[in-house]
Amino acid sequence: VQLQASGGGLVQPGGSLRLSCAASGFISDYYAIGWFRQAPGQEPEGVSCISGSSDASTYYADSVKGRFTISRDNAKKMAYLQMNNLKPEDTAVYYCAASPFVDPDMSDYADFDSWGQGTLVTVSS
């Protein structure tokens, strides 16, 4: 599986962006898709995840709850991260990743076996 993230850019505080993650090759509908981010000089952070279960359960880091929404379209092999009310502290390179586990551990990067290249999100006035 190859993943490609896109949709990053420069946005003012309070603005919105939608990140996309396109998968190519075989990817099961049971794969979970996660979004991670890494700001300069900081450790990577698991931002959000959507499970491969039938109920497509979701996880959000406390720092983005209520502002970010993750979704997926299995038919198109796409996943999305809608980011609203962006803050300067959201500035980071964002990565999407796929896990063969239905509900992976977002703190264990080894649960994710495919990673896309990052897309830079900059929130600044």
What pLDDT, on the 0 to 100 scale, is given for residue 6?
97
Per residue of the chain (125 residues), what is the pLDDT tens digit?
Answer: 899 999 999 999 999 999 999 998 877 778 999 999 999 999 999 999 999 888 889 999 999 999 999 999 999 999 999 999 999 999 999 999 999 998 899 988 899 999 999 999 999 99
What pLDDT, on the 0 to 100 scale, is given for residue 69?
98
DSSP 117: B
Q: DSSP letter string over 20-52?
A: EEEEES---TT-EEEEEEE-TTS--EEEEEE-S
108: region left, alpha or beta (phi > 0 left; psi from -120 to 50 alpha): beta
